[in-house]
């Protein structure tokens, strides 16, 4: 009788341990990283993603959002994603050109004229096809947020015409096309990871930079930059990516939850980004920034100066890639 009782207790303990193990195995925590500050539309999109994931999974999946470069630079995050030590990140799609050359197309100056055109490309077969190419590199692309259209700022002088850009030392995203287009304007490109930007501007190591208005506001760049010029010279899609190592460890059901949440949060994020743009610009003016709009004749000059850069990088990304984007844009413009 005693032996039977002991066996029963041992069996019950074993079952309890298995049950506890199952609960622990079922609760997965996802670290989700980005360079932008809390309150930025991208961070709002990430938070929305977390809420959707928790609701859709009944709490089995939990998302912790790390904004403001808390987990390091984009380059550090990319390595961590590939190594499986970071589960998710959102970063400028053009950054992936370092591992899949075709992504450089997203950094082509003046590629997109409107947000609608950008949506048509990234949400269509071209955008999903590019994300597919990341899988061989240890990443899975789930959706596209937007950083938006980039504007130019500096601390030295107003830029009212293209010639005013010459001689400025400008921070750029560390990739070849950005270095080339800044050089084409007679300015001095300085590649820097985003977390180092504020200090570089404050110490006058660089004169200026270029980013969308939400990022300029979020990173408080208005504190160290007096002049802004509205150029809309680039539009940045932001890829929402997950580590393939982590993705492959998930059940098909959990993968479906993450994909659906990413798609839904992308719609929400772009809505936030576009709704906020005008009010953010007004805030920046109130904060003391002098804002100039580049006249159409100067924008035409700017486009002209970009043509050799686009031709050079067309050779790198491949004419087929450029043709595929242009075909999507033609459809969107009709």
> Could you tell me if 325 and 105 are in contact, meaning their C-beta atoms sit under 8 angstroms apart?
yes
Instruction: Give the lowest-confidence range in 22-36, 46-60, 118-132, 318-332.
Output: 22-36
Q: Which two tokens stand for residue 128?
A: 């999903």
**Using CA atoms, how far apart are residues 188 and 107, in angstroms rounded to an integer?**
18
Element (H, E) at 229: strand 227-230
* Widest distance between CA atoms in the chain: 97
116, part of any domain: yes
**Using CA atoms, how far apart are residues 93 and 178, in angstroms rounded to an integer?**
13
**Backbone dihedral region for residue 186 (phi beyond 0: left; psi -120 to 50: alpha; all else: beta):** left
The per-residue pLDDT for 14 is: 47
32, part of any domain: yes
Q: 107-161: per-residue pLDDT in tens? A: 999 999 999 999 999 999 999 999 999 999 999 999 999 999 999 999 999 999 9
Q: 92-105: per-residue pLDDT in tens? A: 999 999 999 999 99
Domain total for the chain? 1
Q: What is the DSSP letter of 223?
A: G
pLDDT band at 29 (very low <50, low <70, confident <90, very high): very high
Note the pTM of the prediction, 2 decimals. Answer: 0.88
> Could you tell me if 115 and 146 are in contact, meaning their C-beta atoms sit under 8 angstroms apart?
yes
**Using CA atoms, how far apart are residues 255 and 270, in angstroms rounded to an integer?**
23
144, part of any domain: yes
Please state the length of the chain: 334
Q: Residue 295 CB: number of other CB atoms within 10 A?
A: 11
> Which among 80, 127, 120, 82 is positioned nearest to 102, based on CA atoms?
127
Domain ranges, residue 58: 27-333
Task: Give the CATH number for residue 201.
Answer: 3.40.190.170
17, part of any domain: no
22, part of any domain: no
The per-residue pLDDT for 25 is: 54
């Amino acid at each position: 009788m005693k032996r039977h009782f002991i066996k029963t207790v041992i069996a019950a303990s074993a079952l309890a341990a298995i049950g506890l193990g199952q609960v622990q195995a079922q609760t997965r925590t996802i670290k989700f990283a980005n360079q932008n500050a809390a309150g930025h539309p991208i961070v709002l999109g990430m938070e929305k993603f977390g809420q959707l994931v928790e609701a859709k999974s009944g709490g089995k999946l939990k998302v912790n959002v790390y904004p403001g470069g808390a987990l390091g630079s984009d380059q550090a995050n990319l390595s961590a994603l590939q190594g499986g030590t970071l589960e998710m990140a959102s970063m400028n799609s053009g950054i992936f050109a370092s591992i899949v050359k075709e992504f450089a197309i997203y950094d082509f100056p003046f590629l997109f004229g409107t947000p609608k055109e950008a949506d048509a490309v990234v949400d269509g077969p071209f955008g999903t096809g590019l994300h597919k190419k990341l899988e061989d590199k240890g990443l899975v692309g789930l959706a596209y947020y937007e950083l938006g259209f980039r504007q130019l700022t500096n601390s030295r002088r107003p830029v009212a015409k293209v010639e005013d850009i010459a001689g400025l030392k400008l921070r750029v995203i560390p990739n070849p096309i950005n270095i080339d287009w800044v050089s084409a304007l007679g300015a001095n490109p300085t590649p820097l990871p985003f977390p180092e930007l504020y200090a570089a501007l404050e110490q006058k190591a660089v004169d200026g930079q270029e980013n969308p208005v939400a990022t300029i506001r979020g990173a408080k760049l208005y504190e160290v930059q007096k002049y802004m010029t509205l150029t809309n010279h680039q539009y940045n899609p932001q890829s929402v990516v997950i580590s393939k190592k982590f993705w492959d460890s998930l059940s098909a059901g959990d993968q479906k939850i993450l994909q659906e949440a990413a798609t839904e949060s992308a719609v929400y994020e772009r809505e936030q980004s576009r709704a906020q743009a005008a009010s953010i610009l007004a805030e920046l003016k109130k904060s003391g920034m002098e804002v100039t709009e580049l006249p159409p004749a100067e924008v035409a000059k700017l486009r002209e100066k970009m043509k050799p850069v686009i031709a050079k990088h067309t050779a790198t990304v491949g004419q087929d890639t450029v043709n595929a984007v242009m075909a999507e844009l033609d459809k969107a413009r009709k």
